[in-house]
Structure 1
Amino acid sequence: MPEVTFKEKPVTLVGDDISVGDKAPDFTVLATDLSEITLSDSKGKIRLISVVPSIDTGVCDQQTRRFNEEAAKLENVEILTISVDLPFAQKRWCAAAGIDNVQTLSDHRDLDFGKKYGVAIEELRLLARAIFVVDSSDTVVYVEYVPEVSQHPNYEEAINAVKNAK
């Protein structure tokens, strides 16, 4: 597992770590209307999965807004922002922030995504900040586990991975 800290203190990530070349594990999360969403729902598209601890915090807010802006420039790409925030809070935040190009999804119910992608923080029941790019054939083509949860991911590398994915 990658070493990750939260406010400079080491945390334990639960689940399997994902590497470039892996088949992307399917998962079930909840949309803002409480419907179940899976990775296979967007089969045939390139997926950028932006993982944030909580949409209501500064870095998570900026990360989601950045990918919302980038989404408008990309074709055949789904951007999924996943956190453990309740779906109701995600819906309220998106409405207030004018976010309409990314899909916010909740892993609150059972941490299915967090465990399958190795980003569930055992001590906090939050998700570690990470980026995964999955190509149209469900192969992972980019992975970034951000070493310090309070820091930004590498936006440029993630967007380049999306542009280079097939």
Structure 2
Amino acid sequence: MSSTLAGAFGVAALFVAVLALVFAIQALRARTGPAAQTTSGTPPEPEPQPAQPEARPGTVKSELRRLGKDLEVTRGELKETLQHLVVVRYDAFGDTGGKLSWSMALLDDHGDGVVLTSINSRADARTYAKEIKAFASESKLSPEEEEAIDTLRKEAGPTVD
């Protein structure tokens, strides 16, 4: 590359940098407003700001506020989802092995949900579903179903409302 061409690129780059600086100054002046531009040597007094000024749409601040609100809504909805699960396997009858029978509790943070049970024998399998409210059921629960619910109650600890 010749020195003339390099010099031309240098002058063009300097021109672009100065132009960018002028635009940045103009944007800063427009943002601070005419009250900040005084002719005297004393700086202007800051205007009292509201406690939480509303951010302009499309700014990072407004997006963070929106995401914070969305996160709180999501956390509230998550408490009502069936997210806690435990399975208790057992032999329902003495003549079968392999712990093919099972009880599964699916509960939310409030202890509401369902217990599913499958009793397997040599001839057939039976499946039951029982509704659970606040870690209790109106239906009679088997010892294995009680064990599944108690396990989730202990795991939930103080986070359960």
TM-score, structure 2 normalization:
0.20
Q: Which has a greater percent of helix? A: 2
- Pair member with larger Rg: 2
Structure number with higher relative contact order (C-alpha < 8 Å, ≥ 6 residues apart): 1
Q: Which has a greater percent of strand? A: 1
